[in-house]
């Protein structure tokens, strides 16, 4: 895991100084080494966090013949690819996955990325063809931002790397602000919070030609939906176990110590349990954040269930105090790069801080499973809609009743739940999200229209919902915070549930494989029931990364945020903002999440624009 930056600009003066500033702005991503490559107005820089092949031979930028690479990420199947390349005559001088990427590109060209299993954002300068080839992994686990104008091209791992660049402008992208306020998204396709700053979308390659100054972007991979496997339940269970087992095994490849985040939920518990299943006597560190107090979520009993089953685990706990929250908020938001659309990112920030303090450089985390295994409660609307569509009305009513009983919903809320399911049948995902965008929170933007498109994919309502969770509505935001929080403390965070083979398999499963009554992620529960503690396998509730920030912190440790000068947000309706803030100050928490987003937006604009 590292930080990359670079540019190709025939008009720049003091290019060395510019590159140095860009790298210094993301020094936290790679404190172990820093090197640059400069030739013919091509500038490439790299901050290294040493994980695979700790020797300086593996430092970057790395060269092979006419190719030079700067790279952030891990290719987990690099040993298998290396063996294949050696059979074709390749000779390696390091033990790094970086050199494998270089040889793979030399051997297979742009198609090499289809062979990679892992997470990456890299740029390869081809001196022979005067082209810069850039790529981002299938799910956008690793970030890649760029600026392109008048034949010049700049790129970097974070907003911060590109702010000093001559092409950068701090003109705010008001459409993205609206998406952040109304939907909680930190990005959308190639857009960022700044109008001119672009993100290379997940599963896309980019090609920049130095001679012409032209830029080409193209997709190299996509999830196939609407085609289901004709396997028995036992075969599906065995296949999931095999794929997940292999993914965890590959994600454990490291030349430094590896640990795990452990919330006590199904996903992180599955990862820790599989690690211990593979290596029963491995001393293995886990890290958990908890809160104590009225209404706070404390999942230590579930963490304890995992630790009791696996005595080799070495658990570490931390609960942030009010003073901790107040002291670290600025630093956390600085590293986030974007306004905070929720408070859970601060919990994750302290989790990564705890990991770094215990000298762990690589950590496994559970992001991704909720998105493709129907882990969120609102997936049920689409599943009930699919039952109605198949004329299984009795089953649809029965499922709604079971869910209502599990969530202790009133009769009125149960009827509303069923009504939302019918709405999910009548409207597509774009129409449903448009309704939420305009009506879930008071609408504050002065912009008209809906700033997103959610195209339909093959398959049923649930397939469409899960597909957009992966690429548009949920996962991109979670991965943004995952990357920034971990890299703030020079920690490499890996996400085993986002092995693309596992995701492809899950999208070939039917609804009943993903959820069975009140139990979400059914195939995973079945596949891992002999590996995980029974208390985890049978959990019926869904907590998520719950934090008390939007009410408790904003009324306590972070109360100063509510004193912001909102008039500077002149692209929003300040009259509505005043009404909302007045109600909140009087104790009305109805729109606490929106208040949090407004306050952190104002703080971000004042301090980081």
Alpha helices in 297-343 (DSSP H): 300-309, 322-336
Task: Judge contact between 208 and 132, C-beta under 8 A.
Answer: yes
Angle between helices 574-585 and 592-608 (to 10 degrees): 120
Q: Give strand pairing partners of 480.
A: none
Task: Judge contact between 429 and 437, C-beta under 8 A.
Answer: no
The whole-angstrom separation of Cα 407 and Cα 604 is 36
| Closest C-alpha among 5, 8, 6 to residue 209 | 8
CA atoms 432, 433, 434, 436: torsion sign: positive
DSSP 179-218: HHHHH--S-BTTB-SBSS-EEPPTTEEEEEETTT--EEEE
Hey, how many other C-beta atoms are within 10 angstroms of the C-beta on 337?
A: 21
Q: Give strand pairing partners of 364.
A: 260, 494
Question: Could you say which of 2, 261, 307, 599 is catalytic?
Answer: 2
Hey, how many other C-beta atoms are within 10 angstroms of the C-beta on 486?
A: 26
First-to-last CA distance in the chain?
26
268: CB partners within 8 A, 6+ apart:
260, 261, 262, 365, 366
The whole-angstrom separation of Cα 305 and Cα 533 is 6
Identify whether 61 is preceded by a cis peptide bond (ω within 30 of 0): yes
Question: What are the CA-CA distances from residue 549 to residues 33, 277, 350, 561 (Å)?
Answer: 37, 36, 14, 12
The whole-angstrom separation of Cα 429 and Cα 411 is 26
Radius of gyration, CA atoms only, the chain: 24
Q: Report the DSSP pairing between strands 362-364 and 313-318.
A: unpaired
Burial (CB < 10 A; 0-12, 13-18, 19+), residue 462, is buried
The whole-angstrom separation of Cα 125 and Cα 123 is 7
Annotation marks residue 307 as catalytic:
no
DSSP 265-278: SHHHHHHHHHHHHH
| Closest C-alpha among 238, 235, 206 to residue 219 | 206
Phi, psi (rounded to 5 degrees) for 72: -125, 120
| Closest C-alpha among 603, 601, 592, 477 to residue 544 | 477
The whole-angstrom separation of Cα 85 and Cα 439 is 55
Phi, psi (rounded to 5 degrees) for 172: -75, 140
The whole-angstrom separation of Cα 207 and Cα 126 is 11
Angle between helices 78-87 and 97-108 (to 10 degrees): 50
Q: Give strand pairing partners of 493.
A: 363
470: CB partners within 8 A, 6+ apart:
139, 223, 368, 371, 372, 503
Residues involved in catalysis: 2
């Amino acid at each position: 895991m590292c930080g990359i930056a670079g540019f190709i600009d025939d008009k720049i003066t003091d290019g060395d100084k510019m590159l140095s500033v860009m790298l210094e702005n993301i020094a936290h991503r790679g404190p172990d080494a820093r090197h640059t490559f400069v030739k013919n107005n091509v500038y490439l820089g790299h901050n290294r966090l040493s994980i695979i092949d700790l020797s300086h031979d593996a430092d970057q930028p790395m060269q092979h013949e006419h190719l030079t690479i700067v790279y952030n990420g891990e290719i987990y199947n690099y040993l298998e690819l290396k063996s294949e390349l050696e059979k074709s005559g390749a000779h390696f001088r390091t033990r790094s996955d970086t050199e494998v990427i270089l040889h793979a590109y030399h051997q297979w060209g742009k198609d090499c990325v289809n062979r990679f299993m892992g997470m990456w954002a890299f740029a390869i300068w081809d001196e022979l063809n005067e082209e810069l080839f850039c790529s981002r992994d299938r799910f956008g686990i690793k970030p890649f931002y760029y600026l392109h104008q008048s034949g010049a091209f700049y790129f970097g791992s974070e907003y911060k790397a590109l702010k000093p660049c001559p092409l950068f402008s701090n003109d705010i992208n008001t459409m993205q602000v609206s998406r952040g306020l109304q939907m909680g998204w930190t990005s959308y396709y190639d857009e960022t919070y700044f109008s001119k700053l672009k993100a290379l979308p997940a599963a896309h390659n980019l090609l920049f030609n130095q001679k012409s100054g032209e830029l080409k972007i193209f997709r190299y991979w996509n999830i196939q939906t609407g085609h289901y496997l004709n396997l028995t339940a036992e075969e599906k269970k065995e296949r999931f176990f095999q794929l997940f087992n292999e993914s965890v095994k590959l994600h454990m490849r490291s030349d430094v110590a590896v640990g795990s985040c452990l919330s006590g939920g199904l996903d992180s518990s599955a990862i820790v349990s599989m690690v211990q299943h593979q290596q029963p006597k491995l001393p293995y560190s886990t890290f958990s954040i908890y809160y104590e107090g009225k209404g706070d979520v404390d999942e230590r009993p579930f963490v304890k269930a995992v630790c009791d089953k696996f005595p080799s685990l070495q658990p570490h706990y931390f609960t942030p105090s009010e003073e901790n929250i107040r002291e670290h908020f600025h630093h956390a938001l600085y590293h986030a790069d974007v306004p905070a659309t929720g408070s859970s990112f601060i919990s994750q920030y302290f989790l990564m801080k705890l990991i770094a303090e215990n000298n762990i450089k690589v950590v496994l985390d559970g992001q991704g499973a909720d998105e493709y295994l129907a882990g969120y409660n609102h997936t049920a609307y689409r599943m009930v809609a699919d039952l109605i569509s198949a004329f299984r009305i009795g089953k649809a009513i029965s499922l709604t009743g079971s869910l209502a009983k599990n969530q202790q919903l009133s009769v009125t809320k149960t009827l509303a739940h069923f009504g939302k399911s019918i709405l999910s049948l009548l409207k597509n995902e774009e129409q449903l999200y448009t309704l939420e965008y305009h009506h879930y929170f008071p609408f504050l933007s002065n912009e008209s229209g809906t700033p997103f498109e959610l195209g339909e994919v093959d398959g049923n309502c649930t397939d469409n919902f899960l597909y957009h969770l992966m690429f548009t509505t949920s996962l991109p935001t979670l991965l943004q915070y995952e990357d920034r929080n971990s890299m703030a403390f020079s920690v490499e965070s890996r996400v085993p549930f986002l092995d693309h083979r596992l995701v492809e398999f899950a999208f070939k499963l039917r609804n009943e494989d993903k959820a069975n009554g009140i139990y979400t992620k059914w195939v995973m529960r079945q596949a891992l029931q002999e590996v995980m503690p029974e208390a985890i396998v049978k959990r019926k509730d869904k907590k998520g990364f719950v934090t008390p920030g939007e009410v408790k912190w904003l009324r306590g440790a972070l109360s100063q945020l509510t004193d912001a000068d909102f008039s500077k947000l002149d692209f929003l309706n300040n009259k509505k903002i005043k009404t909302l803030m007045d109600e909140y100050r009087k104790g009305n928490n109805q729109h606490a999440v929106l208040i949090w987003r407004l306050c952190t937006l104002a703080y971000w604009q004042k301090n980081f624009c």
